[in-house]
A = this chain, B = another copy of it.
């Protein structure tokens, strides 16, 4: 599969059932997703949030034989680190089961890397579950380096709530804010 017979485009709301079906058709995804129709409203709300945010792009790839043959989300994030550099983050990569190993996944990632360059990013990052060694090798083959631990904290787990509540966010600072 080369890029010439693939179409990369922003997802539309009408693609959402196909996207969720892709995400659910996976050993890890099947435990997390719910692709019964109509979809849970939370999917629609997330689509709206992504669609309205110029720094989030939900991208699908269409092959000659299948609309929504693959999907990924690209998030562009401004950071102070690296002298104010922008990063692109990739999440939710999935290719249709019948098309895996066809090269579509590679083309989708290469497209996303090109998009990140066009958007002025100096770095593309993603995390890959250590339970997916094939995926990790795939990303290494594209030049990604597993230099970091990807650490997750699920908030249904217990969290020490003794900290200052976030409602104190707007508490005014005492004194001059320069030092």
Contact = CB atoms under 8 A, between A and B. Distances in A.
19 contacts: A3-B163, A4-B164, A6-B164, A8-B169, A9-B169, A9-B170, A9-B172, A18-B178, A53-B55, A77-B89, A77-B91, A114-B164, A125-B151, A127-B150, A130-B149, A143-B159, A144-B152, A148-B152, A150-B150
A159 B117 CA distance: 10
Nearest to A29: B81
A27 interface: no
Chain A binding site: helix, strand, loop or mixed by DSSP?
mixed
A160 interface: yes
Contacts of A17: 178
A50 B80 contact: yes
A95 interface: no
Contacts of A38: none
A161 interface: yes
- Copies, count: 2
Given A147-B129, A156-B122, A7 B171 contact: yes
Interface of A: 3-4, 6-10, 12, 14-20, 23, 29, 32-34, 40, 42-47, 49-50, 53, 55-56, 58, 62, 66-68, 71, 73, 75, 77-86, 89, 91-92, 107, 110-111, 113-119, 121-131, 136, 139-140, 142-179
B155 A117 contact: yes
B171 A9 contact: yes
Considering residues A9, A129, A131, which has the most beta carbons from chain B within 10 angstroms of its beta carbon?
A9
